[in-house]
Amino acid sequence: MRHCSRKSVGLSGIVLIACSGGVLAATQILTLNETERLQAEISSEATNRLQVANDRIVNIFGDEGTFVTQNDEHSGQIFIKASAENGDKPLSLTLTTENGLTQDLSLIPSAIEASTVILKVNAKPMNDQSPTETLLGPFTRHQSRTASLIQVMKQAVSGELPTQKESSVPARKQAGFSLQYQATYMADDLKVQHWTLQNTGKNGEEVLEKNVYAQNDLALSIQKTLLKPGEKTDLYILRN
């Protein structure tokens, strides 16, 4: 059975939903960039895996006592965990590879399950990006999966993403409320559905995200959670 947990990030009512089969904390794929410090989210409690695609990590440098590592000399992977003394403070690291690459990293310990961070070389020419990739910009490609989802949701709420009307959208129901589908915002392989939610009862009601949530939802943004009788609010739902 797949277990899901929810985490409020305090940004315009956005609630992230993490599943143990893992949408938010499973694998983060970052593009190597020796001129930037890349950011990724790791578990603060479990050991995380760090890998460079088609290469081997030979050294990793950081402040002494802030992390512990185990090296797999055969594959060139590193298994890393923040030390108890470091706690949830970001880890500033630099790794070097067998092929002569150097990459600065900022790893953010968080209350998530064990994470895999894979670094890869970007083989796509800069002028061969899709319109969506250009729109999302380097924030999404270089930072953690969680940060990417927050970015997409914020862009949808502010109307910065292209819209697409879906021909068939499964109805959503919540007792005491009516939900009406409005539009879909597209961002590469992600989409954000915009709904209006209205209190149809005779009393003030609270909108609970656990009642709105459906399978495969990645994040929810409810603009107002306490509604008077007849009052409406906007609901944004991020999905694959």
DSSP per-residue letters across 141-172: HHS-HHHHHHHHHHHHHTT-SPEE--S-----
- How confident is the model at residue 187, as a pLDDT? 86
- How confident is the model at residue 21, as a pLDDT? 36
Q: What's the rounded Cα separation, in Å, for the pair 184 and 190?
A: 10
- How confident is the model at residue 91, as a pLDDT? 96
- Average confidence (pLDDT) per 10 residues, the chain, 240 residues: 42 46 53 90 90 91 94 89 94 94 93 83 47 35 60 82 84 90 88 93 85 81 86 89
- How confident is the model at residue 123, as a pLDDT? 47
Element holding 192 (H helix, E strand): strand 190-199
Domain boundaries, the chain: 21-157, 163-239
Query: What's the CATH architecture for 21-157?
Result: Sandwich (2.60)
* pTM of the entire predicted model: 0.47
- How confident is the model at residue 19, as a pLDDT? 41
- Specify the residue for token string 């009642």: 211
CB 113 within 8 Å of CB 42: no
Q: What's the rounded Cα separation, in Å, for the pair 68 and 44?
A: 12
- Residues 162-194: pLDDT tens digits? 988 787 888 888 889 999 999 999 988 789 999
